[in-house]
Structure 1
Amino acid sequence: MKKLIPNRTSMTLCIIGLLCLLTYALIGSHIYDDGTLIEPFGLLPLFWVFEILAITAYVVQLIKGFNERY
Structure 2
Amino acid sequence: LGEPRPPPQLGPLLCNLSQLPEGRRGLLDRSRCSVQRLLPFTQHKDSVVHRRGIVGALRNCCFEYGESA
- TM-score tier by shorter-chain length is 0.3 to 0.5
> Which structure is larger by alpha-carbon Rg, 1 or 2?
1
TM-score (structure 2 length as normaliser)? 0.37
TM-score, with normalisation over the residues of structure 1? 0.37
**Which is richer in strand?**
1
User: Normalized per residue, which structure has more helix?
Assistant: 1
